Amino acid sequence: MATTLAKAADGTESVEYAARIEHVSKSFAGPAGQQLVLDDITLDVAPGEFVTLLGASGCGKSTLLNLVAGLDAPTAGHIGTDGRPALMFQEHALFPWLTAGKNIELALKLGGVPKNDRHDRAEELLELVRLKGSYGKRVHELSGGMRQRVALARALAQDARLLLMDEPFAALDAITRDVLHDELTRIWAETGLSVLFVTHNVREAVRLAQRVVLLSSRPGRIAREWTVGIPQPRRIEDAPVAELSLEITEVLRGEIRRHGQH
Residue 152 identity: L
> What pLDDT score was predicted for residue 217?
84
DSSP 3-state of 115: helix
> What pLDDT score was predicted for residue 123?
94
Query: Considering just the CA atoms, what is the radius of gyration of the chain in Å?
Result: 19
The structural domains of the chain, ordered by start, are 1-85+162-262 (3.40.50.300), 86-159 (no CATH)
DSSP 3-state of 27: strand
- Kindly report the pTM of this predicted structure: 0.88
- Phi/psi of residue 217, nearest 5 degrees: -70, 165
Other C-beta atoms closer than 10 Å to the C-beta of 140 total: 7
Which stretches of the chain drop beneath a pLDDT of 70?
Answer: 1-15, 259-262
> What pLDDT score was predicted for residue 8?
39
